[in-house]
Structure formats: C-alpha cells, structure tokens
Amino acid sequence: MIKYIHMGSLGRPHGISGEIVLDWYGVSPFSSVMTFWLVVRDSEPRPIHIERARRHNGHLLITIEGITNRDQASALRGARLCCLRSDLPEPDEGEAYISDLLGADVFLPNGTRLGRFSHLVQGACVWSIIDDDGREILFPAEESFITALDAPGKRIVIDPPQGLLELYR
C-alpha cells in the first residue's frame, strides 16, 4: 500500500508575501489541521505546517510556515502536497483512493478490457486510460459512469458515455 497520498499540487505564487495557489485534489474540504508532507521534485517527503488557507477568486491559497516571499513560493511550484495514508479514513464500500487505483485494469460492462488507469489529469476529474496500443483515452470520472471499483484487485469497470470511445478509435 502507498504510504503517502498526493492531495494537491502547488501552483504559482500569489502576491509577494509567500502565498501559493494550491490545486486541491481531495474530495473532502481542505483542512490545515492535518499534517502535510511536501515533495519537491524527487526529494524525500518533508513535513510542513500550513499557517493559513483561504479562498480567493475560485482558488485555494495557502501560506506555508517559513515561506515568506514570492521567490521562495516560486521555488515550490509543481511540488506535491501529500498526507500519510494512515491519517486518512478507510474508504467506504464502493469507494477507493485514486492512488490505490493507479495501474488498475479498466473494463467495460461486457468484460472487454479497455486499458490501464494511468493517472488523473491535473485540475480535472478526468482519468487517463492507456489502451493496449498505447493510446490515451480521457474518461470523465463521474460516479454515474463508474460501475465497479476493486482497489485490492486492481480492477475498474466503467460504462462511458455514448460515443466517447468512438472518438478514440
């Protein structure tokens, strides 16, 4: 099982005092009470303290302890904000964390294998599925199109909207 869960990515600085735009991937609301770990490029995760979080023009802005200016904030652009898997609640029946589904085989309702779940498209609730020919299929990951999730078995069954797969064939 994965130890760290990627919850969001740091974007551009906001202003001159070290605030940073955060692309938050979690379904649940952001909580600055939680312990977060920062991964900059391929570095080892390091614990950080988020001093402040606020909404501004549809974006989530955060202030990280020790980051006090635009240059420091800019150096963190693209860093991953993670939390320990053990700090999160277990998913409910029929739910799973995206990190547990990465690499899962994706099937259609009739049992046909469509491909492998590669990654979540940043900033959108869209899955990238790579078929056996290496082509990418972008799938709108809405609950109504996902019929089964089996994280331990690395198996997903989807029923894509009519006409979606034809766009890729």
What does the pLDDT look like over 69-128, one tens digit per residue?
A: 999 999 999 999 999 988 888 888 878 888 889 999 999 999 999 999 999 886 668 999
- The count of structural domains within the chain is 2
pLDDT at 168: 87
Q: How far apart are CA 7 and CA 114, in angstroms?
A: 27
Domain with 33 in it: 4-87
pLDDT at 77: 97
Tell me the pLDDT of the chain averaged across its residues.
91
92 assigned to some structural domain? no
Q: Kindly state whether residues 48 and 114 are assigned to the same domain.
A: no
Q: How far apart are CA 86 and CA 63, in angstroms?
A: 24
Average pLDDT over residues 33-54: 91
Residue 149's pLDDT band (boundaries 50, 70, 90)?
very high
In contact, 145 and 158? CB cutoff 8 Å: yes
Reference 103, options 147, 152, 42; nearest CA is 152
93 assigned to some structural domain? no
Q: Kindly state whether residues 71 and 134 are assigned to the same domain.
A: no
Q: How far apart are CA 62 and CA 73, in angstroms?
A: 10
Q: Kindly state whether residues 33 and 65 are assigned to the same domain.
A: yes
Question: Per-residue pLDDT for 27 more than 70?
Answer: no
Question: Per-residue pLDDT for 28 more than 80?
Answer: no
